[in-house]
């Protein structure tokens, strides 16, 4: 059976020629017919040479996403093999990312494991058309008690897909307390943030906690309080978590009570709180954690985002005790490491402080970075001592 193909525009400066797995609508010589949407299509250069086999969706600005450089079919054999290889790359454990989209040759599939439950996010039309098969393959490979399809990310709208959540069995999955890295955590896998928990920051919780014993700790943008709770368990003298979402603060308070940790939490605008003269006049903090949501959700928003990152890091450095520790992160893939380092250097100059790097922070190995795809690298951070 012949596979449809398309060519790039003449003189197109397409990143796919350098190995990137995407082709954009303005790089294609002629649009493919609608019947190709959600199916396998070949991409060829101007000379007709095969650049890869991928999935197509003319309704998206990203019209093609590569599966492989060779001829492949998006069938049970391909999906099963790709999922098996992805799972095999990960260290065993009850809480881990199992598949990370293009980084695992599965464009549009994100799968996370929470004990006996697997949560899947499908973000491309082609994978949506094969979602039942994906659920069957995960069941065959891992034998989970349930597979939850968290198809509620707004990015699905760019592919013309509906927003919905369901389980493979059709039965509701009840939220519950689950011990993650020694902290009892309220898991709502059908309605919580992302797939239910920030698995990408697990290693950072313990990395920061080791600096917190006997210290005054401020966890800004705390969400459900994971950093704060780990700091409290490590023996911090005082822990305060801040977040603008009241429901997140409520969850953090429940977590503190459940774990017997004396942490406080407030629902506030973090920028306003850091700028409040009353808070500036109080005792300095020994450890401050800044883990904000992505300020730069698009390339055009980067300039404003850099100002926001500088502002919060400047205020944090001003509030740190001499020799205090700042753990600061960004999850905006548009913000490169050089951008973050420049922001921290500029903030330190304005605060008249001298930060020295204790640890370089990055997304964990189960969120692998595809070197030819900068978008797969998104989580960066530094733990610094501020003199």
Asked if residue 85 lies in contact with residue 79, where contact means CB atoms within 8 angstroms, the answer is no
Is 226 in the same domain as 342? yes
What CATH number did the domain enclosing 49 receive? 2.30.130.10
What CATH number did the domain enclosing 264 receive? 3.40.50.150
Name the residue range of residue 329's domain: 198-386
Q: Is the pTM of this model over 0.75?
A: yes
What CATH number did the domain enclosing 110 receive? 3.30.750.80
Q: Residue 193 has what pLDDT?
A: 81
Cβ neighbours, 10 Å, residue 343: 23
DSSP letters of 56-79?
E-TTSSEEEEEEESS----SHHHH
Q: Does residue 361 carry a catalytic annotation?
A: no
Domain boundary among 68, 94, 115: 68
Q: Of these residues, 56, 212, 222, 331, which one is catalytic? A: 331
Whether 112 maps to a domain, the answer reads yes
Residues with pLDDT less than 50, the chain? none
Pairwise CA distance, residues 38 & 188, whole Å: 31
Burial readout 136-171 (b: 16 or more C-beta within 10 A, e: otherwise): bbbeebbebebbbbbbebeebeebebeeeebbbeee
Is 258 in the same domain as 229? yes
């Amino acid at each position: 059976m012949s596979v449809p193909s398309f060519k790039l525009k003449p003189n197109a400066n397409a990143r796919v020629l350098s190995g990137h797995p995407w082709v954009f609508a303005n790089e294609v010589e002629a649009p493919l017919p609608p019947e190709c949407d959600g199916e396998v299509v070949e991409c060829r250069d101007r000379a007709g040479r095969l650049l890869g086999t991928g999935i197509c969706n003319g309704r998206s600005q990203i019209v093609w996403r590569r599966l492989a450089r060779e001829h492949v079919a998006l069938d049970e054999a391909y999906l099963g093999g790709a999922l098996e290889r992805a799972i095999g790359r990960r260290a065993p454990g009850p809480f881990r990312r199992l598949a990370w989209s293009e980084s695992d040759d599965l464009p549009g599939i994100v799968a996370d494991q929470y004990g006996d439950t697997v949560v899947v996010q499908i973000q491309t039309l082609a994978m949506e058309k094969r979602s039942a098969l994906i659920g069957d393959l995960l069941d065959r490979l891992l034998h989970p008690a349930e597979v939850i399809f968290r198809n509620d990310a707004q990015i699905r709208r760019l592919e013309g897909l509906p927003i919905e959540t369901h389980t493979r069995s059709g039965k509701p999955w009840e939220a519950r307390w689950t011990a993650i890295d020694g902290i009892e955590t309220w898991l709502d896998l059908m309605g919580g943030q992302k797939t239910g928990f920030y698995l990408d920051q697990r290693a950072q919780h313990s990395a920061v906690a080791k600096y917190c014993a006997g210290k005054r700790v401020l966890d800004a943008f705390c969400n459900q309080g994971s950093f704060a709770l780990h700091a409290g368990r490590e023996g911090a003298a005082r822990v305060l978590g801040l977040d603008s979402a009241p429901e997140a603060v409520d969850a953090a308070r429940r977590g503190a009570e459940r774990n017997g940790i004396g942490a406080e939490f407030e629902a506030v605008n973090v920028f306003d709180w850091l700028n409040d003269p009353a808070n500036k006049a109080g005792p300095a903090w020994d450890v401050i954690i800044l883990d904000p949501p992505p300020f730069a959700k698009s390339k055009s928003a980067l300039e404003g985002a850099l100002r926001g990152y500088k502002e919060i890091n400047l205020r944090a450095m001003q509030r740190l005790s001499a020799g205090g520790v700042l753990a600061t992160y960004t999850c905006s893939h548009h913000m490169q490491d050089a951008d973050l380092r420049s922001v921290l250097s500029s903030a330190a100059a304005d605060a008249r402080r001298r930060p020295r790097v204790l640890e370089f922070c990055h997304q964990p190995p189960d969120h692998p970075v595809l070197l030819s795809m900068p978008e797969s690298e998104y989580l960066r951070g530094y733990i610094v001592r501020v003199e």
